[in-house]
Amino acid sequence: MKSVSVKKIYIVFGSIFLTLSTLFLLLLFMNIRSIVGMYPEITGKAYSFFIMAVIFIILLLMTSISFLWFMRAEIVKFSDKMCKLIDDAISDKQMVYFETNKESLMSKLENRLKKLIDMINYQRQKNMDEQNNVKSLILDISHQVKTPIANISMYNATLMEREVTKEQEQKFLYNMESQISKLQWLMEALIKMSRLETGLICLNKTSSKIEETIAQAIGGIYLKAEEKNISVAIDCDRNIQLCHDKKWTIEAILNILENAIKYTQCGGAIKIEVKEFEMFTRINVKDNGMGIEKDDINNIFKRFYRGTEALDKEGVGVGLYLAREIISKQGGYIKVKSKKDIGSTFSIFLQN
């Protein structure tokens, strides 16, 4: 169905209005003439009434035409504003919004359109951030996977193409197993990370004793600590209870403890201290390891980041990133204090 233009609608309704007004005047004039013929003595009054009626009709016509002209001008003005605003939104230009504090139909429509555009812009920015995040993640994964796969391919090609001794064969197989373990750990970390970032995991916070959570996290690093003869001590009030997701909080504390063991020399010490405050409970994980460079402290929680002195250590730089994500999703945060060759203190703050 073809749409009728506004101009044609004005012409049609204007013609109808003029026709009806003309007929009304003719009928009125004929009636007055008949009245004058029957009653000559009221001729002056009749013509006065006729003149008043004509003036009234003219004023009515002028008012109607003025109103229609004014409304058309306002509608054109409003449509121009809306088109400009929509065009700016489509082209992603900086938009200047109209006055939306007036109680009128136009301002209400403008206000609704402003809210709609704000929602669209927010969703657009969110989609762009997600796309950039995905691109960054793909680049990081390709970088992290490239080296282990290249090493495995090299060891495999050497075993297939060259004659090696039994001792060399065992060494190559051991190195391949190490690279496979690294890939497996990386894939598990990436799965956890992606599930957290995409919101596929809903943290289930329940009230439980924080000492039990810390104890289970310590159980995950006990053997590694024993291998390096690192002592692990805990100072925690058994009565402290926190509303937290026990499973994922164990994961966060475990990652920080593994990081502490990794960068603490043999015979070192790790101490865990828990202190309850009015709004937060602080969990300090303190070690006497190699410490963190001042320039690296702001970067250690970035995904896949590894400091210059950590390149010879195992890992891919995901553990601390996961720990921060887990704690922040529970309304908490992590702070770090460190001195080179003295040690580091990771402070986990969880809401009471």
Query: Which stretches within the chain are classed as H helix?
Result: 6-38, 43-91, 105-161, 166-197, 210-227, 246-262, 319-328
- End of a domain among 197, 221, 239? 197
The three-state secondary structure class of 291 is coil
Same domain (yes/no): 271, 215? yes
Mean pLDDT is lowest, of 88-102, 204-218, 246-260, 292-306, for 88-102
Indicate whether 103 belongs to any domain: no
Mean pLDDT is lowest, of 137-146, 157-166, 256-265, 343-352, for 137-146
pLDDT of residue 25: 67
How much is the pTM? 0.57
Per-residue pLDDT tens over the stretch 134-185: 677 677 677 667 777 888 888 888 888 888 788 888 888 888 888 887 787 7
Among 52-61, 154-163, 189-198, 286-295, the range of highest mean pLDDT: 286-295
- End of a domain among 197, 214, 248? 197
- End of a domain among 64, 96, 128? 96
Residue % of the chain over a pLDDT of 90: 19
149-154 contact pairs (CB < 8 A, 24+): 149/179, 149/183, 151/175, 151/176, 151/179, 152/176, 152/179, 152/180
Residue 13 has pLDDT above 60, yes or no: yes
The amino acid present at 213, given as its one-letter code, is T
Indicate whether 108 belongs to any domain: no
Mean pLDDT is lowest, of 35-39, 78-82, 122-126, 305-309, for 35-39
pLDDT of residue 229: 93
Same domain (yes/no): 345, 210? yes
Rounded to the nearest 10 degrees, the angle between the axes of helix 105-161 and helix 166-197 is: 170
pLDDT of residue 171: 85
Residue 224 has pLDDT above 50, yes or no: yes
Give whole-number Cα distances, 236 to 166, 233, 251, in Å: 52, 10, 19
pLDDT of residue 3: 42
pLDDT of residue 2: 43
- CATH no. for residue 249? 3.30.565.10
Same domain (yes/no): 127, 150? yes
Count other Cβ atoms within 10 Å, centred on residue 232: 18
Residue 273 has pLDDT above 60, yes or no: yes
Same domain (yes/no): 16, 80? yes
Per-residue pLDDT tens over the stretch 16-30: 667 766 766 666 666
Same domain (yes/no): 144, 262? no
Same domain (yes/no): 233, 327? yes
Q: Return the structure tokens found at 351.
A: 């809401």
CB contact at 8 A, 272 and 235:
yes
- CATH no. for residue 177? 1.10.287
Number of domains in the chain: 3
Indicate whether 114 belongs to any domain: no
Mean pLDDT of 48-68: 69
Indicate whether 63 belongs to any domain: yes
**pLDDT band at residue 335, thresholds of 50, 70 and 90?**
very high
Same domain (yes/no): 59, 30? yes
Nearest of 311, 225, 217 to residue 256 by alpha carbon: 217
Mean pLDDT of all residues in the chain?
77
Sequence-distant (6+) residues with CB within 8 A of 121 are 89
Structural domain of residue 167, as residue ranges? 120-197
Q: Which residue has the tokens 């070192």?
A: 268
Nearest of 279, 263, 283 to residue 341 by alpha carbon: 263
Indicate whether 105 belongs to any domain: no
Residue 280 has pLDDT above 50, yes or no: yes
pLDDT of residue 217: 92
Same domain (yes/no): 44, 164? no
**pLDDT band at residue 257, thresholds of 50, 70 and 90?**
very high
Q: Return the structure tokens found at 285.
A: 């994980």
Indicate whether 101 belongs to any domain: no
Same domain (yes/no): 183, 216? no
CB contact at 8 A, 213 and 250:
yes
Sequence-distant (6+) residues with CB within 8 A of 266 are 228, 229, 230
pLDDT of residue 162: 81
pLDDT of residue 199: 62
**pLDDT band at residue 40, thresholds of 50, 70 and 90?**
low
Same domain (yes/no): 341, 246? yes
pLDDT of residue 4: 45
Same domain (yes/no): 128, 87? no
Alpha-carbon torsion angle 53, 54, 60, 66, nearest 10: -160
Indicate whether 1 belongs to any domain: no
Same domain (yes/no): 218, 340? yes
Indicate whether 102 belongs to any domain: no
Nearest of 275, 271, 273 to residue 242 by alpha carbon: 275
